[in-house]
Chain A
Amino acid sequence: MFVLIVGAGRVGSAVAKRALAAGHEVSVLDEDPLSHERLEDSDGQTWEDAGGLFTVGRALEVDSLVEAGVQRADVFIASTDGDNTNLTVAQIVQRRFGVDKVVCRVMDPARAAWYAEQGLHTISPTRHAIEMFEQALGLDG
């Protein structure tokens, strides 16, 4: 599979390394060139040496998406630190480039739920945290 990940923060870079280790082709797009360092493995091997691709560019620039390989992506993950960027780029990739599997991080649980109803695969870390706290308090039963 070809996996394109936009946003190489803690979440994006961890998923990228895991996907690469699992044998997938992985391309990462981030506007910050320094985010590249997060992709190095624990032995100091660079992301490229490990076989990964990295593009510096903005999520909403179509040229950057194309350079990062959106046209041949099987999976697209939007994991920047901005809900609005993630929701916008995920919809663009879904509608314009017809990528099969689009997954999008949305911190705001209300919008994560509504966009999920509209057919977008959203993941809301906030929602998960709320559930965990509820469980810890025994409020989930």
Chain B
Amino acid sequence: MYVIIVGAGKVGLNLARELIDKGHEVTLLESDRRRYLLVEPELGHVVHYGDATELWVLERAGVQRTDLVITVTGDDEDNMLVCQVAKEKYECERVIARVNNPRNLQHFKLLGIQPVVSATDLILRLIEHEVPRYGLVHLLALEEERLEIIELEVQSGAPAAGLRVSEVNLPEGSLVISVLRDGRGFVPTPETVVEAGDQVLLVLDAGLEEQITPVFSYAAD
């Protein structure tokens, strides 16, 4: 596979190393002269000096034949526009962009740039996973497919505690796919009894989580 990486900062440089290790052909573009000179002794002709938002720089890097463009500069406008041009002008089918400011995520979507990677978002999600609010953790959201995977802890006294999976009153469009108990996980059968303290993983249609939370939590009223 031929990959163009834009931005030779820490992310870009390490990504280039990994992809080269895996046997891929890589060109790394860097617009800062000092950074370029720092990286060049290691990567040699793999790294090009130039501003990837300029069309001729992309063309010199071979954007017409690339399989994948990855933009990981510290500038969201650059990341967005390079991906847009790669996709729409040079018909590169796959692009991946880094989002520095999560508030710019909406702009990437508006311009049709996806997938995107946001370190801030990833860390926020990890925090939620480690310190769950309301005992519910979003593990994965497939936005195009309108599916979500969530993790919940079964509270003692919750409607589902003590019931078989087949008896738990779940809305249509949701399914228990895994139970974590005493540090190990397994895929439940309809006969598996849900116990208080279990972590359950569910896959569900987007928007159903509010109906699901009460089933696994104890409402003291």
Contact = CB atoms under 8 A, between A and B. Distances in A.
Interface of A: 60-62, 82-85, 87-88, 91-92, 95-96, 108, 110-111, 114, 118
Interface string B65-90: 00000000001111011000100110
A64 B78 CA distance: 21
B146 interface: no
B46 interface: no
A60 B78 contact: no
B104 A110 contact: no
Main secondary structure of the interface of B (DSSP, over half): helix
B88 A111 contact: no
Contacts of B88: 118
Query: Chain B, interface size: which category?
Result: 10 to 19
A24 B54 CA distance: 36
Contact of B110 (A61, A83, A91, A108): A91
A108 B107 CA distance: 22
Nearest to B106: A62
Contact of B53 (A62, A84, A118): A84
Nearest to B103: A61
Contacts, number: 43
Main secondary structure of the interface of A (DSSP, over half): helix
Contacts of B85: 111, 114
Nearest to B104: A60
Contact of A114 (B76, B80, B89): B89
Identify the interface centre among B54, B88, B103, B107: most chain A CB within 10 Å of its CB: B107
A140 B138 CA distance: 62
Interface in B191-217: none
Contacts of A87: 77, 81
Contacts of A91: 110-111
5 contacts: A84-B75, A95-B110, A96-B110, A108-B53, A111-B54
Given A110-B55, A118-B88, A85 B110 contact: no
A84 B110 contact: no
The list of the 9 closest CB pairs from A to B, nearest first, reads A84-B77, A110-B55, A88-B77, A84-B81, A95-B110, A85-B77, A84-B78, A92-B107, A87-B81
